[in-house]
């Protein structure tokens, strides 16, 4: 039996008077701080997992463990778990910055190689810039059904951008299978997004823009490492 919720609401208002609006309290400062601590823990886990997995994955597939895509997906996932859009943006940045530091700590501890802090500094700056975007988009993918296809198309574009970089712009031919795999994953996600949205043009533009931005960011970071 289907019940008309509008009739129930009208009846309740007639009996008790006009019902006051339901107010949803924002997350407390303690909860916000706990969420950011969780993001930092996720960053430590990400940094150590990157170092460990790149030694376990066979051959050139190890590049997938030590890749920007893996970190982007992690920040995206952290954003999905955060209690608010603001905490998602901050949490995404914290995750990537902590991961940048913990990765090189893991190199020192697990490989016994003392690494120059240049890499941690460069990737931390990149995390401060990109982390809020990945975290915010991850939050939107969970909180807004309207923006969910666009959010996932953005992530697919990031994956595609790195796939293009590994397939066409890296001289090492052994990395091409990993790049082709990323392109296949990105294409699958984009196709699913296009099936779930009425704004196919906007979704396609978001994916293409994210791919182009990822390619540009990769070239900039490579140039910084080459010049420093």
The pLDDT tens digits for 76-118 are: 999 999 999 999 999 999 999 999 999 999 988 888 776 668 8
Inside any domain, residue 1: no
- Which residue has tokens 């533009």? 205
- 208 has pLDDT over 50: yes
For residue 3, the model assigns a pLDDT of 47
Task: For residues 155 and 195, state if they share a domain.
Answer: yes
Band (pLDDT 50/70/90 cuts) for residue 66 is confident
Which residues neighbour 55 within 8 Å (Cβ) at sequence distance 6 or greater? 62
For residue 110, the model assigns a pLDDT of 84
- 167 has pLDDT over 50: yes
For residue 20, the model assigns a pLDDT of 52
- Domain of residue 44 covers 31-143
Task: For residues 76 and 153, state if they share a domain.
Answer: no
Q: Which two three-digit tokens encode residue 96?
A: 């990537």
For residue 26, the model assigns a pLDDT of 57
pTM for this prediction: 0.83
- Which residue has tokens 């997350």? 27
Task: For residues 77 and 60, state if they share a domain.
Answer: yes
Here the contacts of 33-36 (C-beta below 8 Å, separation 24 or greater) are: 35/81, 35/82, 35/83, 35/87, 35/91, 36/87, 36/90, 36/91, 36/94
Inside any domain, residue 15: no
Q: 107-150, pLDDT tens digit by residue?
A: 888 887 766 688 999 999 999 999 999 999 999 999 888 899 99
Inside any domain, residue 182: yes
Task: For residues 42 and 89, state if they share a domain.
Answer: yes
Question: How far apart are the C-alpha atoms of 223 and 187, rounded to whole Å?
Answer: 28
Burial class (CB in 10 A: 0-12, 13-18, 19+), 171: exposed
Task: For residues 47 and 102, state if they share a domain.
Answer: yes
For residue 27, the model assigns a pLDDT of 61
Domain final residue, candidates 96, 128, 143: 143
Inside any domain, residue 5: no
Domain final residue, candidates 143, 160, 186: 143
Q: 15-37, pLDDT tens digit by residue?
A: 444 545 544 455 678 888 899 99
Task: For residues 136 and 73, state if they share a domain.
Answer: yes
Number of domains observed in the structure of the chain? 2
Between 1 and 148, whose confidence is greater? Answer: 148
Task: For residues 114 and 138, state if they share a domain.
Answer: yes
Task: For residues 120 and 194, state if they share a domain.
Answer: no
pLDDT mean over 212-227: 91
Task: For residues 35 and 137, state if they share a domain.
Answer: yes
Domain final residue, candidates 91, 111, 143: 143
């Amino acid at each position: 039996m289907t019940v008309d919720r509008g009739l129930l609401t009208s009846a309740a208002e007639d009996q008790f008077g006009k019902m006051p609006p339901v107010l949803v309290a924002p997350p407390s400062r303690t909860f916000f701080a706990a969420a950011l601590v969780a993001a930092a823990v996720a960053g430590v886990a990400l940094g150590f997992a990157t170092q460990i997995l790149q030694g376990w994955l066979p051959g050139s597939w190890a590049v997938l463990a030590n890749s920007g895509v893996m970190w982007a997906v992690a920040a995206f996932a952290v954003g999905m778990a955060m209690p608010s859009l603001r905490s998602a943006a901050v949490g995404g940045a914290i995750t990537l910055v902590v991961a940048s530091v913990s990765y090189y700590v893991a190199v020192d501890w697990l490989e016994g190689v003392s690494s120059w802090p240049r890499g941690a500094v460069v990737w931390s700056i990149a995390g401060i810039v990109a982390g809020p975007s990945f975290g915010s988009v991850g939050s939107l993918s969970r909180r807004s059904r309207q923006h969910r296809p666009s959010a996932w198309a953005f992530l697919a574009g990031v994956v595609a951008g790195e796939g293009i970089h590994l397939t066409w712009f890296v001289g090492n031919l052994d990395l091409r299978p990993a790049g082709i795999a990323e392109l296949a994953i990105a294409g699958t996600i984009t196709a699913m997004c296009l099936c779930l949205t009425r704004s196919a043009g906007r979704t396609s533009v978001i994916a293409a823009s994210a791919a182009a931005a990822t390619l540009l960011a990769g070239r900039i970071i490579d140039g910084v490492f080459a010049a420093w």
